[in-house]
Amino acid sequence: MVATVRGSLAHMAQGAQDHHWLMRRHPPASDRRERRGLSNMEINVLGPLTAHERGVSLVPSATKPRQILAVLALQTGHVVTVPTLVEEVWGSDVPRSAATTLQTYILQLRRNIAVGLRGEPGRCPKDVLVTQHGGYLLDIGTGRVDAQEFDGLLRSGRSAYAQDDFASASDLFGRALDLWRGPALVDVRVGTVLELEVLRMEENRMAALERRIDADLRLGRHRELVPELHVLTARHPMHENFCAQLMLALHRSGGAWRALESYQRLRKALVSELGLEPSQNLQRLHRAVLSGDPQLELPEAVADRKGGR
């Protein structure tokens, strides 16, 4: 047993050097058909962690099992390897008992799942939280994870934007943003694995927000955007894209002088905090506002065509 644990931990240490997800693909189609519909789990990670099966909460109160559930939830349908889970929970300080303790945490999660499956004959927690060679797989059947739904809406929004369908893009980005209930996994202690996932999700959230505003600007909604952009630039005083969007919205609303003030506020923040001047793109926008460049105006044909959808 000692040799087995030592060998396992050596493999874990090697796997911990790479922060990419160490996973295997979903089991064969025949296995999927057998298990399909076993679970209808609803998992939310875009805010506090929640997981429900038939209205029963599956989220453990203990810190480390919560971490494991979060990692598995972000990779539903894929095998998450033991080294990945160990890296998340213990980092570089891996105890000799890690393999055994991890099995205990998996058992705790299965007990919670069993409560949610109660009254459903033939449904087994081991068919939902599945042991696979080298790791574990969370099979939620016809359930949903809000992060996966967000990613799908984000992709669709980008596709609509690329096709100049700005009304659909704005709607899709807005629906994606509405899924968020706070910072990702705000009530879960994150290790090195979850930290990267949280960073990715938060960056995608910001990208969706920027793109939704871009779409709204293309639709001629500049006046409606001004209050929102004032808040965003106050929260992110060195965010150049928010500043550029606010400048454009103010200019198109007849407030060129306010657009210039916004530029100066950002420039002051960049110089005082980082010793940097604004980017060349933002400086060009500043000069365009100063000169009243007509190219900053939204073509009426675009506004009419897109705003009327």
- The pLDDT score that the predictor gives to residue 297 is 86
Does residue 269 lie within any of the structural domains? yes
Does residue 194 lie within any of the structural domains? no
Share of the chain above pLDDT 70, in %: 83
> Is there a single domain that holds both residue 125 and residue 228?
no
Average pLDDT of span 113-125: 81
> Is there a single domain that holds both residue 26 and residue 128?
yes
Average pLDDT of span 73-101: 95
Last residue of a domain, one of 124, 141, 158: 141
Last residue of a domain, one of 80, 113, 141: 141
Does residue 93 lie within any of the structural domains? yes
Domain with 47 in it:
2-141
- The pLDDT score that the predictor gives to residue 122 is 67
Measuring CA to CA, how many Å separate 79 from each of 131, 143, 308? Answer: 9, 17, 47
> Is there a single domain that holds both residue 12 and residue 134?
yes
Confidence of residue 123 (pLDDT cuts 50, 70, 90): confident
Does residue 257 lie within any of the structural domains? yes
Residue 269 has pLDDT above 80, yes or no: yes
Last residue of a domain, one of 83, 107, 141: 141
- The pLDDT score that the predictor gives to residue 118 is 83
Does residue 177 lie within any of the structural domains? no
Q: Are 15 and 84 in contact (CB under 8 A)?
A: yes
- The pLDDT score that the predictor gives to residue 35 is 45
Q: Are 290 and 260 in contact (CB under 8 A)?
A: yes
Query: Based on the structure, what is the number of domains in the chain?
Result: 2
- The pLDDT score that the predictor gives to residue 300 is 59
CATH at residue 242: 1.25.40.10
CATH at residue 131: 1.10.10.10
Does residue 117 lie within any of the structural domains? yes
- The pLDDT score that the predictor gives to residue 38 is 55
Task: Write out pLDDT tens, residues 204-247.
Answer: 999 999 999 999 999 999 999 999 999 999 999 999 999 999 99
> Is there a single domain that holds both residue 229 and residue 131?
no
Confidence of residue 306 (pLDDT cuts 50, 70, 90): very low
> Is there a single domain that holds both residue 110 and residue 237?
no
- The pLDDT score that the predictor gives to residue 121 is 66
Residue 34 has pLDDT above 80, yes or no: no
> Is there a single domain that holds both residue 132 and residue 10?
yes
Does residue 95 lie within any of the structural domains? yes
> Is there a single domain that holds both residue 15 and residue 124?
yes
